Chain A
């Protein structure tokens, strides 16, 4: 249950303070999320049966999670029967060890990668690097992050915090094949990346991917993408290693009917994503000759045991919740201290990793509970509900416990509340000068308590008893 690259991250409010002050980041994020937000809304509005699709997606996921062991065993059986090899990894360390061993057995020292959240979660690239194996990201945005020695800040567009000018600088610095006169024209940037990657694709003998879905009944694994770079990785190399969270399994191929509609519309605001790759084990003379499927737990069964929190496992990583989140748009993705940023990260990381670290304990509070995320989530994860639930479990400062205890005591009886209101009304000026928390008074005036509370007014003017 670890995400090794994110050890020692500061609590969310500290990281967010820096991000809020970063004017370039604010502008990049506001533009990018604002655009996709509107396009998603339009793509969803096209479907008259969106609410039913969403309900179906939710129910299929809940059914599968309720019988997860059954469907995973079925998946293992079908993948094995189709010539694949299935591995079970309890945590990040086990998964990394399995992948490292598999790559070593091929004798290769470079692998090409399909964009994958699961391998980000376990810190696979770093683990491979320690073993002397270079992992080359082939998704354009992921490549920008990798070349910039940076961290992803968005599920779908990991380099969303970068603008074109920054990307040009990164390419010039870290991409040997980039032309000296590279401009920040998107077509020129894409062409430079294409040249850089083409050599890698043609040389690669091992690819590592994640998975969007796996069909238990057939043993079929799927990756959906926009660029086609994933398709290259999935078809050209001799060995394919897929790392997949255990919650990605679906019972039947028919279930894809629902998910292949809701995912692209929620994610890229497209009716259909350009590339959907699906493979079942190995096929002689077509694609990789060896296929390994690593099934990753890494905190998922623990999450499944929580009746309220388990709905986070329905997530299909579409990133719609990030794009509508007012907190994400201002704090940026890095503040969430994990490859899972935004609202979903705030409920997923503290469950997968536990509430032990500073950043994880702060994540359930990194939301105003405005509910915009829940409204757009295609699998209807009630993110505010899970946030509130996790707040109940999160450690709290003694001073806060005391304050909430006092407030609770005052609100426990109308007599005590009236006494507190009377005291506040008698010392209005004092209350005004009282040191309210700076976090409030820095930018906002404090209301002055009225001389007479409502209940006192009622008693004096309306009470007939």
Chain B
């Protein structure tokens, strides 16, 4: 199957290893990955910060770039959620009915990674090995907007050698929330502290999620505390071969 990768601006710029891991996993499963070079951002940051006009420009660009593809994957729960839940709504509100219709047509073809694997490709065993104790944080948009449910866990359970830990209060927000972490730094840090405590209580060596922005947040605090827990995107674990660092 030919799959277009929407790597997302955050992964593209800060976490390219996640994009490379998606390529590794999908190619290992025998699929063709393409990277439409015109892509930039889904507009989430501008939308959530109160700049809908700027976000709308990105909706328009995204739609133009990805419209030609039948299957699109985004290794980020919140970016996939922005495309699926917001793009058409934003366009409609701005009176851009034509763009709204195109965005609505495109939306169901955009999948978060675990959705693509489980629902579209019908696999849970992607042939990975990752011999470490791992805790999975479901992240808010994956959990409540995309309703990923146990898809990521089903994928993780099939990974050789992986010891899956139960994260207490898993559904509670880590406190990132984009610019929330800056505008409400104190409350954000308090939320993060509780998430870090929950992660540490599991004895996990690796914290996994389907969204690098949340991992950057919790991971930044874990690193600051020299907690001895590192973070890894779901894609990187699924790309793992059990030898050295994945991807």
A contact set with B: CB distance below 8 Å: 12-13, 16-17, 20-21, 26, 308, 326-327, 330-331, 364-372, 374-375, 388, 391-394, 396, 404-405, 407-408, 411-414, 417, 420-421, 424, 437-440, 442-447, 449-450, 452-458, 462-463
Minimum CB–CB distance for A13 against chain B, Å: 5
Whether the pair B184, A408 counts as a contact (CB closer than 8 A) is: no
Whether the pair A417, B16 counts as a contact (CB closer than 8 A) is: no
- Complex Cα spacing A463 to B179, Å: 34
- Complex Cα spacing A412 to B172, Å: 33
A440-B182 contact in complex given A326-B175, A447-B14, C-beta closer than 8 Å: yes
A440-B181, A445-B221 known; 7 new pairs, CB 8 Å cut-off, are: A12-B184, A16-B184, A365-B183, A408-B51, A437-B182, A449-B14, A456-B16
Query: Among the interface residues A393, A411, A414, A452, which one has the most CB atoms of the partner chain B within 10 A?
Result: A411
Minimum CB–CB distance for B14 against chain A, Å: 5
Whether the pair B40, A411 counts as a contact (CB closer than 8 A) is: yes
Q: Counting CB contacts under 8 A, is B170 at the interface?
A: no
Q: Counting CB contacts under 8 A, is B63 at the interface?
A: no
Q: List 9 A-B contacts (CB under 8 A).
A: A17-B186, A21-B186, A367-B180, A404-B45, A414-B39, A414-B40, A417-B40, A457-B19, A463-B35
Interface set, chain B 162-219, CB cutoff 8 A to A: 171-173, 175-193, 216-217, 219
Interface set, chain B 2-48, CB cutoff 8 A to A: 7, 9, 11-17, 19-20, 23, 33, 35, 37-41, 45-48
Query: Which label, helix, strand, loop or mixed, suits the secondary structure of the B interface?
Result: helix
Q: Counting CB contacts under 8 A, is B50 at the interface?
A: yes
Minimum CB–CB distance for B173 against chain A, Å: 4
- B187's contact among A327, A371, A408, by CB below 8 Å, is which? A327
Whether the pair A365, B52 counts as a contact (CB closer than 8 A) is: no
The residue of chain B having its C-beta at the shortest distance from the C-beta of A13 within the complex is B184
B contact set with A: CB distance below 8 Å: 7, 9, 11-17, 19-20, 23, 33, 35, 37-41, 45-52, 54, 57-58, 61, 93, 140-141, 144-145, 171-173, 175-193, 216-217, 219-221, 223-224
By Cβ-Cβ distance, the 8 closest A-B pairs, closest first, are A368-B177, A439-B185, A444-B220, A391-B50, A370-B173, A454-B16, A454-B19, A370-B140
The residue of chain B having its C-beta at the shortest distance from the C-beta of A421 within the complex is B13
B residues in contact with A393, CB < 8 Å: 50
A-B contact count (CB 8 A): 180
The residue of chain A having its C-beta at the shortest distance from the C-beta of B8 within the complex is A454
Minimum CB–CB distance for A462 against chain B, Å: 7
B residues in contact with A449, CB < 8 Å: 13-14
Whether the pair B140, A369 counts as a contact (CB closer than 8 A) is: yes
- B177's contact among A17, A370, A392, A439, by CB below 8 Å, is which? A370
A residues in contact with B17, CB < 8 Å: 450
- Complex Cα spacing A374 to B140, Å: 12
The residue of chain A having its C-beta at the shortest distance from the C-beta of B145 within the complex is A371
Whether the pair B54, A458 counts as a contact (CB closer than 8 A) is: no
B residues in contact with A308, CB < 8 Å: 93
The residue of chain B having its C-beta at the shortest distance from the C-beta of A30 within the complex is B194
Whether the pair B186, A454 counts as a contact (CB closer than 8 A) is: no
A404-B49 contact in complex given A16-B184, A439-B182, A444-B192, C-beta closer than 8 Å: yes
Whether the pair A412, B173 counts as a contact (CB closer than 8 A) is: no
Query: Among the interface residues A369, A392, A437, A452, which one has the most CB atoms of the partner chain B within 10 A?
Result: A369
- A447's contact among B50, B216, B221, by CB below 8 Å, is which? B216
Whether the pair B224, A443 counts as a contact (CB closer than 8 A) is: yes
- Complex Cα spacing A13 to B19, Å: 36
B residues in contact with A411, CB < 8 Å: 9, 40-41, 58
B residues in contact with A456, CB < 8 Å: 16
B residues in contact with A414, CB < 8 Å: 37-40
B residues in contact with A388, CB < 8 Å: 47-48, 50
- Complex Cα spacing A253 to B219, Å: 54
Query: Among the interface residues A26, A396, A443, which one has the most CB atoms of the partner chain B within 10 A?
Result: A443
A residues in contact with B171, CB < 8 Å: 372
Minimum CB–CB distance for B67 against chain A, Å: 16
Minimum CB–CB distance for B169 against chain A, Å: 9
B residues in contact with A392, CB < 8 Å: 50-52
Whether the pair B188, A457 counts as a contact (CB closer than 8 A) is: no
B residues in contact with A455, CB < 8 Å: 7, 12, 35, 37
Whether the pair A407, B45 counts as a contact (CB closer than 8 A) is: yes
Query: Among the interface residues A21, A26, A453, which one has the most CB atoms of the partner chain B within 10 A?
Result: A453
B residues in contact with A396, CB < 8 Å: 50
- Complex Cα spacing A152 to B120, Å: 51
Query: Among the interface residues B23, B58, B141, B173, which one has the most CB atoms of the partner chain A within 10 A?
Result: B173
